[in-house]
């Protein structure tokens, strides 16, 4: 049995759920095309390579492919994008900024929660348009940094529709799916159901699996459904056209930079990581009940696709298959013995107002809680830590954190002191017309948001230091939550709380003034 056979055999049990599908290709030829389990466990509808999955945020590269095919420099899209955000005026980011996730817009998957969206509430075109139209500020200058932002791609898709006078689904079929040979891929914008009866699931082996409830309309950001065979066709199309300078995929993978000239690791709806020493183009995807991942390594000409109808770690599964296809050893060297690190603790990023928590993880590793998901960092002998694009280095009374992917270097200062006792009250943000309500029922602090999208659930607040609290969000409008919200307390000259600055990596520095 080959290493790839072994990886395929252990994958369903390593990532348990109702079903899934994977493919591995080399030089355009299929090495593995495997499905297992059920598209609907109640009706016992089995998975096949023709079963539709939600490919989630993999949609973004198809949106950019369509835009580049019709408007090569994307410049004509700027006018309708400005019209959709009339309050931004001259600060409106360009379509190129959006395609590279350099727009500076706060992600509407996060700001929807600040606006009171119920966890399983309805969010369709009208709600999206109204939330986007309220935008009047950014959390960084366009082109200077990277931050994932879903409505970037919704706005690109809607601008293409307005300029052509044709529907997004029709345009995708004519200009991307048919030329690339994807016969059944389609826009499945309504996430409440799939056209072939496939169901996405939440849950685990311990508590069981239940159908995920989705009441969302996603379009250019996460709206496409495709089968394993569709995705195999996409990978073969990529490989077949890899050396053509004017090919569609080649135009999506051209080098991208920030305004300061630093190279960017994301562009035109594609991440550009280095995987096992090879430059790659890749993207993952996640909605409630669905996980997906695909990557292509042009050097060895290897592609991997993973599709789950549950919330397993598709990216991890993809890396295991890629490692096996490359013949890489999956053993890990034993970490060197190191003295206890001085890095663990709670810190404040004063530039963005976000809490950074550093804790000891496995041998030779630290865990950083800062962005949407925790990051494992390898410790070094000089008591620095880093992996991939994030490094931490102590200096003076704090830590310097460099995040290459975000194009940011920032200072983390220790957060200390007793928790606030006067947090209870109501706080208003005018841009979103949203209210944050804090109570102290039975001596425990709770908080929740309400606004144009409804009334959110009360959550227990976690005190971190004087003036710093966390609002955990275990469930959100869709996908996994945007990460814990940092609550940064601001006081006036009398010492009374005047405002709370609320933010997460996807939506930073949102000011709520005390009512």
> Residue 185, SS3?
coil
Please report which residue ranges of 115-150 form alpha helices under DSSP H.
125-133
SS3 503: strand
- Measured CA to CA, the distance from residue 237 to residue 268 in angstroms comes to 17
**Given pLDDT bands bounded at 50, 70 and 90, which one contains residue 161?**
very high
- 379-406: pLDDT as tens digits: 999 999 998 789 999 988 899 999 999 9
pLDDT at 79 > cutoff 90: yes
Structure confidence at residue 331 as a pLDDT band (50, 70, 90): low
Whether the model pTM is above 0.85: yes
Active-site option among 57, 115, 341, 384: 57
Angle between helices 59-70 and 151-164 (to 10 degrees): 30
pLDDT at 333 exceeding the cut of 70: no
| Mean pLDDT confidence for 185-213 | 93
Q: Tell whether the model's pLDDT for residue 12 goes beyond 70.
A: yes
The helix (run of H) or strand (run of E) holding residue 8 is helix 3-14
Active site residue 57: yes
pLDDT at residue 454, as a whole number: 95
The SS3 call for residue 352 is coil
Q: Shortest CA distance to 235 belongs to which of 291, 314, 181, 292? A: 181
From the list 60, 94, 147, 303, the catalytic residue is: 60
Distance, first Cα to last Cα, the chain: 67
pLDDT score recorded for residue 198: 94
Averaged pLDDT for residues 176-202: 95
SS3 content of the chain, % helix, strand, coil (to 5): 25, 35, 45
> Is 298 or 340 the better-scoring residue by pLDDT?
298
Strands 497-504 and 485-491: antiparallel
Give how far Cα 175 sits from Cα of 68, 120, 229, 504, Å: 10, 34, 19, 37
Kindly report, residue by residue over 245-289, the tens digit of the pLDDT. 899 999 999 999 999 999 999 999 999 999 999 999 999 999 999
347-367 per-position pLDDT tens digit: 999 899 999 999 999 888 999
- Is residue 105 predicted with pLDDT exceeding 90? yes
Contacts of 238 (CB under 8 A, 6+ apart): 249, 296, 303
Tokens of 471: 């609002």
103 is catalytic: no
Counting residues of the chain whose pLDDT is more than 70, the rounded percentage is: 98
Token representation of residue 306: 């993973």
pLDDT at residue 1, as a whole number: 67
Look at the block and give the residue holding tokens 């003076």.
396
Task: Supply the DSSP symbol for 84.
Answer: H
Choice among 72-81, 345-354, 408-417, 473-482 with the minimum mean pLDDT: 473-482
Backbone dihedral angles phi then psi of residue 222, each to the nearest 5 degrees: -160, 30
pLDDT digits (tens, 9 = 90+) for 460-504: 999 999 999 999 887 788 766 677 899 999 999 999 999 999 999
Question: 């949106």: which residue's tokens?
Answer: 63
| C-beta separation of 379 from 385 below 8 A | yes
Q: What is the DSSP letter of 300?
A: T
Let me know: does 20 contact 312? Beta carbons within 8 Å: yes
Q: What is the model's pLDDT at position 329? A: 78
- Structural domains in the chain, sorted by start: 3-57+173-326 (3.40.710.10), 345-414 (2.40.128.50), 425-514 (2.40.128.50)
Q: What is the mean pLDDT of residues 332-347?
A: 82
- The pLDDT assigned to 480 comes to 67
**Distance from C-alpha of 89 to C-alpha of 82, rounded to nearest angstrom:** 7
**Residue 511: predicted pLDDT:** 97
User: What are the residues facing 500 on neighbouring strands?
Assistant: 489, 512
Residues ≥6 apart with Cβ < 8 Å to 10: none
pLDDT at 199: 96
């Amino acid at each position: 049995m080959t290493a790839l056979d072994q990886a395929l055999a252990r994958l369903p049990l390593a990532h348990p759920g109702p079903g899934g599908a994977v493919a591995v290709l080399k030089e355009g030829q299929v090495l593995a095309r495997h499905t297992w389990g059920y598209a609907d466990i109640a009706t016992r509808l089995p998975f096949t390579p023709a079963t539709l999955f939600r490919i989630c945020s993999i949609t973004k590269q198809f949106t950019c492919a369509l835009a580049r095919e019709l408007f090569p420099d994307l410049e004509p899209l700027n006018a309708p994008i400005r019209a959709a955000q009339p309050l931004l005026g001259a600060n409106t980011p360009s379509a190129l900024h959006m395609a590279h996730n350099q727009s500076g817009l706060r992600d509407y998957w996060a700001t929807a929660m600040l606006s009171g969206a119920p966890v399983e509430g309805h969010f369709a075109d009208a709600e999206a348009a109204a939330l986007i139209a309220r935008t009047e500020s950014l959390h960084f200058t366009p082109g200077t940094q990277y931050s994932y932002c879903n409505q970037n791609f919704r706005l690109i898709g809607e601008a293409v529709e307005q300029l052509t006078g044709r529907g997004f689904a029709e345009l995708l079929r004519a200009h991307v799916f048919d030329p690339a040979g994807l016969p059944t891929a389609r826009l499945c914008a309504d996430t409440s159901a799939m056209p072939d009866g496939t169901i996405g699931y939440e849950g685990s082996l311990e508590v069981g699996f239940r159908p995920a409830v989705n009441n969302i309309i996603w379009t250019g950001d996460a709206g496409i459904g495709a089968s394993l065979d569709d995705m195999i066709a996409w990978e073969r199309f990529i490989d077949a056209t890899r050396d053509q300078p004017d090919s569609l995929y080649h135009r999506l993978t051209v080098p991208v930079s920030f305004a300061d000239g630093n190279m960017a690791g994301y562009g035109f709806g594609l991440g550009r990581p280095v995987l096992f020493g090879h430059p790659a183009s890749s993207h993952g995807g996640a909605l409630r009940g669905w996980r997906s991942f695909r990557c292509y390594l042009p050097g060895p000409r290897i592609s991997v696709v993973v599709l789950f109808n549950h919330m397993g770690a598709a990216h991890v599964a993809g890396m295991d298959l890629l490692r096996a296809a490359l013949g890489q050893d999956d053993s890990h060297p034993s970490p060197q013995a190191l003295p206890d690190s001085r890095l663990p603790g709670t810190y404040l990023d004063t530039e963005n107002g976000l809490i950074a928590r550093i804790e000891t993880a496995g041998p030779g590793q630290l865990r950083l809680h800062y962005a949407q998901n925790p990051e494992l960092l390898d410790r070094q002998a000089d008591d620095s830590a880093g992996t991939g694009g994030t490094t931490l280095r102590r200096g003076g009374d704090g830590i310097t954190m460099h995040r290459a992917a975000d194009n940011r270097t920032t200072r983390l200062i220790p957060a200390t002191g007793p928790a606030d006792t006067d947090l209870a009250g109501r706080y208003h943000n005018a841009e979103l017309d949203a209210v944050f309500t804090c109570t102290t029922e039975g001596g425990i602090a709770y908080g929740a948001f309400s606004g144009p999208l409804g009334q959110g659930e009360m959550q227990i607040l976690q005190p971190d230091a004087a003036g710093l609290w966390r609002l955990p969000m275990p469930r959100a409008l869709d996908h996994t939550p945007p990460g814990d919200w940092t609550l940064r307390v601001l006081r006036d000259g009398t010492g009374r709380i005047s405002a709370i600055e609320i933010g997460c990596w996807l939506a930073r520095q949102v000011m709520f003034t005390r009512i």
